Chain A
Amino acid sequence: MNKLESKQVNFYYGSSHALKDINLAIEANTVTALIGPSGCGKSTYLRLFNRMNDLISDTRLTGEVIIDGVNIYKKGINVDNLRKMTGMVFQKPNPFPKSIFENVAYGLRVNGITDKKFIEERVETTIKQVVLWDEVKDKLKKSAFELSGGQQQRLCIARAMAIQPSVILMDEPTSALDPISTSKVEELIHELKTKYTIVIVTHNMQQAARVSDHTAFFYLGELVEYGVTKQIFTNPNVERTQNYITGRFG
Chain B
Amino acid sequence: MKPFFKNFSEKLIEGLLMICGTITSLTVVLIVFFLFKEGLGVFNKKAVEEGYVVMVNKSNPVNSISPEDIKNIFDSKITSWKDLGGKNDSIILFRLEDISNYFTDEQIGENFEGLPLLLNRVVDSIPQILAFFPEKYLGKNFKGREIEAGKITFSTFFGGKEWFPTAQPAAQLGVMPLVMGTLWVSLGAILLALPLGLAAAIFLSEIAKDKVRRVMKPLIELLAGIPSVVYGFFGLVVIVPAIQKLFNLPVGETGLAGSIILGIMALPTIITISEDAMRNTPRAMKEASLALGASKWQTIYKIVIPYSISGISAAAILGIGRAIGETMAVLMVTGNAAVIPTSILEPMRTIPATIAAELGEAPDGGLHYKALFALGCILFIITLVINLIVEFISGSKKNRRV
Q: Mark B107-119, 1 if CB is under 8 A from A, else 0.
A: 0000000000000
Contact between B293 and A145, CB atoms less than 8 A apart? no
Question: Distance (Å) between the CB of A163 and the closest chain B CB?
Answer: 6
Does the CB pair A96–B293 fall under 8 Å? no
**Pairwise interchain contact A50-B291, C-beta atoms closer than 8 A:** yes
Indicate if the CB atoms of B292 and A106 lie closer than 8 Å: yes
The answer to whether B292 touches A110, judged by C-beta atoms less than 8 angstroms apart, is yes
B303/A96 in contact, CB under 8 A:
yes
> How many chain A residues touch B (Cβ–Cβ < 8 Å)?
28
Most buried by A among B285, B288, B292, B294: B292
A94 and B293 within 8 A (CB): no
Are A156 and B288 in touch, CB under 8 angstroms? Answer: yes
Q: Which residues of B contact A163 (CB under 8 A)?
A: 292-293
CA distance A185 to B275 in the complex (A): 37
Give the distance in Å from the alpha carbon of A247 to the alpha carbon of B345 in the complex: 77
Determine the chain A residues whose CB is within 8 A of the CB of B209 once the complex forms: 57
The minimal Cβ–Cβ distance linking B211 to chain A, given in whole angstroms, is: 10
What residues on B are CB-neighbors of A159 within 8 Å? 288, 292
Nearest opposing residue in chain A for B211, CB measure: A57
For residue A86, CB closer than 8 A to chain B, the reply is: yes
CB-CB contacts of B267-289 with A at 8 A, as 1s and 0s? 00000000000000010110111
Residue of B nearest to A109 (CB): B302
Docked Cα-Cα span, A84 to B294, in Å, equals: 9
Interface contact B282-A83, CB-CB below 8 Å: no
Cβ 8 A contact of B293, one of A57, A90, A107: A107
Cβ of B307 within 8 Å of any chain A Cβ, yes or no, is yes
Q: Which residues of B contact A86 (CB under 8 A)?
A: 291
* Complexed CA–CA distance, A111 and B209 (Å): 27
Chain A residue numbers with a CB within 8 Å of B282 are: 94
Least Cβ–Cβ distance between B398 and chain A, in angstroms:
14
A83→B293 contact, CB < 8 A:
yes
Q: Is the CB of B287 within 8 A of A52?
A: yes
Query: Which residue of chain A is the closest to B288 with respect to CB atoms?
Result: A94
A163 to B293 CA separation, bound complex (whole angstroms)? 9
Are the C-beta atoms of B293 and A111 separated by less than 8 Å? Answer: yes
Report B-chain residues with C-beta under 8 Å of the C-beta of A52: 287, 290-291
Of A55, A80, A145, the residue contacting B295 (CB under 8 A) is: A80
CA distance A164 to B284 in the complex (A): 21
Q: Given A90-B284, A96-B285, are A160 and B291 neighbors across the interface (CB < 8 Å)?
A: yes
Contact A145 B292 (CB under 8 A): no
| Cβ contacts under 8 Å, A50 to chain B | 291
- CB-CB under 8 A from A110, the residues of chain B are 289, 292-295, 298, 302
Chain B proximity mask over A76-116: 1 for CB below 8 Å, otherwise 0? 00001101101110111010111000000011011100000
Q: Which residue of A has the minimal Cβ distance to B283?
A: A55
A88 contacts which of B210, B291, B295, B303 (Cβ < 8 Å)? B291
A70 → chain B closest CB, angstroms:
17
Q: B306 near A: Cβ within 8 Å?
A: yes
Whose C-beta in chain B lies nearest to the C-beta of A97?
B307
**CA–CA, A110 and B294, complex, Å:** 5
Question: Considering the chains assembled together, what is the distance between the CA atoms of A52 and B306 in angstroms?
Answer: 23
A169 to chain B, nearest CB (A): 8
B293 to A84, Cβ gap below 8 A?
yes
CA distance A50 to B302 in the complex (A): 21
Chain A's closest residue to B210 (CB) is A57
A90-B284, A156-B288 are contacts. A98–B293 as well, Cβ < 8 Å? no
Q: Is B136 an interface residue (CB 8 A)?
A: no
B400 contacts partner chain A, Cβ-Cβ < 8 Å:
yes
Complex CA gap A152/B298 in Å reads: 23
- Contact: B288 with A97, CB < 8 Å? no
Query: If A106-B302, A110-B294 touch, does A55 touch B287 (CB 8 Å cutoff)?
Result: yes
Complex CA gap A172/B295 in Å reads: 25
**Are A80 and B293 in contact (CB-based, < 8 A)?**
yes
B301: shortest Cβ distance to chain A, in Å? 11
Chain B residues, CB < 8 A from A92:
284
A49 to B50, CA, bound (A): 86
- Which interface residue of B287, B288, B307 has the most chain A CB atoms within 10 A? B288
Interface centre among A86, A88, A96 (most CB of B within 10 A): A96
Q: How far is the CB of A17 from chain B (nearest CB, A)?
A: 22
Closest Cβ of chain A: how far from B160's Cβ, in Å? 47
A96 to B292, CA, bound (A): 12
How far does the Cβ of B278 sit from chain A's closest Cβ, in whole Å?
13
Q: What residues on A are CB-neighbors of B292 within 8 Å?
A: 83-84, 87, 106-107, 110-111, 159-160, 163
Name the residue on A nearest B291 (C-beta).
A88
CB-defined contacts of B291 to chain A, threshold 8 Å: 50, 52, 83, 86-88, 160
Residue of B nearest to A98 (CB): B306
Whole-angstrom CA separation of A46 from B294 in the bound complex: 19
In the bound assembly, the distance between CA atoms of A214 and B255 in angstroms comes to 72
Q: Is the CB of A145 within 8 A of B400?
A: yes
- Closest Cβ of chain B to A174, distance in Å, is 16
Q: Mark A48-69, 1 if CB is under 8 A from B, else 0.
A: 0010100101000000000000
Interface contact B285-A94, CB-CB below 8 Å: yes
Partner-A contacts on B (CB < 8 A): 209-210, 282, 284-285, 287-295, 298, 302-303, 306-307, 400
The 4 nearest A-B residue pairs measured at CB? A84-B293, A107-B292, A110-B294, A88-B291
Could you list 18 A-B pairs, sorted by A, with CB under 8 Å?
A50-B291, A52-B287, A57-B210, A80-B294, A83-B292, A86-B291, A87-B291, A87-B292, A94-B285, A94-B288, A96-B289, A98-B306, A106-B294, A109-B302, A110-B292, A110-B298, A160-B291, A163-B292
